[in-house]
Amino acid sequence: MSSQGSTEVEKKKIVSMRLNNNDRNAIQAIASRLFVREAELYRFAVNNLLNRMHHLHDLDCTGSDLLPLFIEFREELNQNLGLKKLQLFKVINNGNAHPDKFVSMTDIELLLLPQHQVRQRLLQTKAALIYKQNDINAWLKSYFVAKYGLVKVIEEEDVEITEGEIEV
């Protein structure tokens, strides 16, 4: 590789972002406590986020392959990005998801609803009632694991799917 080729790869870009005072103060305090520069903490945060969301970078990962990611980040994505159901539908199904991996709009809506509405919806969904749990996120995850065959989620996180009492 030529010296020009290596400098092309190593170039970094400056990125600007706006933070509220509370977030900036928290970052400064954490950086100070860790004895690192703020910039190092920002890079760590970006790298951590990119690693956790790597499935979105893989264009072959569509449909139900993306459900574990959106289950994990459900509340954060809703709070911070304000995704709409059509946006999320396009992201998940990518317009051409394999029929075996296609995620229905009603299930995508579950990812965007607040906790209390997710509970109400799951109570109204017969297929979800057999996986009922007190923890709404665990219940939602169990329902998706069963409906879409998300075996990887079970293996990675030891999600327990058992038939529970049906309370209506």
The ranges assigned to domains in the chain are 1-52, 60-168
As a whole number, mean pLDDT of residues 154-167 equals 45
How large is the greatest C-alpha to C-alpha distance in the chain, in angstroms? 68
E strand or H helix at 111: helix 105-112
Cα–Cα distance measured from residue 156 to residue 69, given in angstroms and rounded to the nearest whole number:
12
pLDDT, tens digit, 9 for 90 and up, residues 121-160: 999 999 999 999 999 999 999 999 999 988 654 455 444 4
CA-CA-CA-CA torsion for 161, 165, 166, 168, nearest 10 degrees?
Answer: -130
pLDDT of residue 162: 45
pLDDT, tens digit, 9 for 90 and up, residues 46-78: 999 999 999 998 888 899 999 999 998 888 888
In angstroms, the Cα distances linking 54 to 31, 33, 82, 124 are 26, 29, 20, 33
Residue 106 in contact with residue 89, Cβ under 8 Å? no
pTM above 0.85, yes or no: no
As a whole number, mean pLDDT of residues 87-115 equals 89
> Which letter does DSSP use for residue 77 in this model?
H
